[in-house]
Structure 1
Amino acid sequence: MRISETEGEALAMAKEKQFEIEWSDETFSFHKELIADGKIVGTQIAEIANAYPIEDFAILRHLKTGELESIRPTELVDLQDPGVERFFIVKGATNNRFTVEGRSMEWPQALLAAKHIKFLANAPEDQVLVLDTDAGDVEFDDNALVDLAPPAVERFKLRKLKKTVTVYYKETAFELERRKWSTEELLAAFSVPSGYKLDQISGDGEFNELKPGEQIRLREGMEFSSHPPVGQSS
């Protein structure tokens, strides 16, 4: 069968066409690759990152909806849809399942930064990650490490970041600007008696004295107290 010049050009163009993908490991530092074949299997994706042995790695496709789906080594992936395909190739034996605003996610490691969860969910910068629990909402700073390990399937929400936070000094609520505050600024805001030392109360009830000039970023629900200088009775 004779192929016309036009058909020959079309075939040549099809052979020359390449498909761009982005991939990263758990660091979220992306690399770009050009793939000659529009349809590849999970093993080929893993080979790009030298992920051996493949059974020690999870291959995750980051869908344009913001969801993550697991790709099996023999599963066929079509790269011909419009837009750049994004994949994660992460070492880890267990996929920890969670949801963000109903979007289904899974991650092969127990800890993942809140900012990376927001990235996966296509969340804008002015939103904060919130964990929905029976005891109430728990808000995460972007750099906080979130524990995704079972038994529970964690349910996250996204909430517009307020310009203020509510913190507590000796059980009295104060609404303060969301930013870094110095020890001296907090002493003044709480009207702490002159000469007294300011303490931040950790989640496990431990009192940590704030040093002069120390900077602390306020988060929702933080608790503070104070005590007189050593050797002085309250």
Structure 2
Amino acid sequence: MNQYLHDSSCSGQPLHGSYEILVGDQSLQFASKIVDDPVVTGSQILISAGASPASEFLVFQVFSDGALEVLRPEEAVDLRNVGVEKFIVFQSDRSFRIFLNERAIDWGATRISGATIKKLAGVQIDSFEVWFDAAGGHDRQIDDKELVDLTTPGAERFITRKISITIKVNSRRREVDHRILTYWDVVKLAYPDAVPSDQVIYSIDYGSGPHQNPNGSMVEGQTVIVKEGMKFYVTPTDKS
């Protein structure tokens, strides 16, 4: 089940004679709303979200398997089932179809960010990448903050891939699943049992990095962007 679709603390039961729903925006940020009726329509959900005039908005119901489906203004949802119903409200007059990991998803905004695509896929944002599956095999990575225009002809296709980068630490191959490593991430790749200490400090130098940080050194508290084939040299020094 997608991470952003499940909250085990929500029972779906009436709250003092009322019912809880979760209403989100196009960034998949959800807020709790309380409604009095056990059966609500698309129009009532728009009212609870403060979306007016209704003609300028779309409501999507979010199902437990991650599917999204347009909820028409007059269409009703029974809230008495187990679990809290979730909805997304878009300020839009039409939806756009994308394919994410070969699954069709209808989306209510003209643009979608890389981070939102990861949320729809239910993957960890820091450990996965989004790729635009272009015709002709020219795939392109989509950054978390990048907005993809969905108004171009045809359905856009995206795939998520787990990050796997091979680097060398003290001449040994290491696989990492994050593009940004902290000082202690690097130290522990060289010395797995290393911990902060008053007796030992670790010096880190690196090379063959990306254009943001092609080479340099690290001290505690710093981070570095990594790329395939990057080299790190970690040296312990006794303070005493």
TM-score, normalising length: structure 2: 0.61
Separation (CA, whole Å) in 2 of partners of 1:14 and 1:109: 32
Aligned partner of 2:132 in structure 1 is 131
Aligned partner of 2:147 in structure 1 is 145
CA 1:101–1:189 in 2, change beyond 3 Å: closer, same or farther? closer
Separation (CA, whole Å) in 2 of partners of 1:199 and 1:101: 30
Aligned partner of 1:83 in structure 2 is 83
Which sections of structure 1, spanning at least 5 residues, go unmatched?
A: 1-12, 166-175, 191-197, 201-209, 221-234
- The amino acid of 1:49's aligned partner reads A
- The amino acid of 1:130's aligned partner reads W
Once the 2 structures are TM-superposed, how far is the Cα of residue 69 of structure 1 from its aligned partner? Answer: 0.9
1:24-103 aligned at under 5 Å gives the runs: 24-103=24-103
Once the 2 structures are TM-superposed, how far is the Cα of residue 151 of structure 1 from its aligned partner? Answer: 0.8
Any conservation in 1 of the 2:14–2:20 contact (CA below 8 Å)? Answer: no
Aligned partner of 2:208 in structure 1 is 189
Aligned partner of 1:160 in structure 2 is 162
Separation (CA, whole Å) in 2 of partners of 1:163 and 1:19: 47
Per-residue Cα deviation, 1:142-174 (whole angstroms, up to 9, x for no partner)? 222222223111122221122359xxxxxxxxx
TM-score, normalising length: structure 1: 0.62
Name the % identity: 29
Separation (CA, whole Å) in 2 of partners of 1:90 and 1:219: 37
1:168-187 aligned at under 5 Å gives the runs: 178-179=179-180
Aligned partner of 1:111 in structure 2 is 111
Separation (CA, whole Å) in 2 of partners of 1:82 and 1:134: 43
Aligned partner of 2:196 in structure 1 is none
Which sections of structure 2, spanning at least 5 residues, go unmatched?
A: 1-12, 168-175, 182-204, 218-222, 229-240
Any conservation in 1 of the 2:180–2:226 contact (CA below 8 Å)? Answer: yes
Once the 2 structures are TM-superposed, how far is the Cα of residue 62 of structure 1 from its aligned partner? Answer: 1.6
Once the 2 structures are TM-superposed, how far is the Cα of residue 95 of structure 1 from its aligned partner? Answer: 1.1
- What is the count of residue pairs matched by the alignment? 177
Of structures 1 and 2, the one with the larger relative CO (CA 8 A, separation 6+) is 2
Once the 2 structures are TM-superposed, how far is the Cα of residue 98 of structure 1 from its aligned partner? Answer: 0.6
Separation (CA, whole Å) in 1 of partners of 2:86 and 2:29: 12
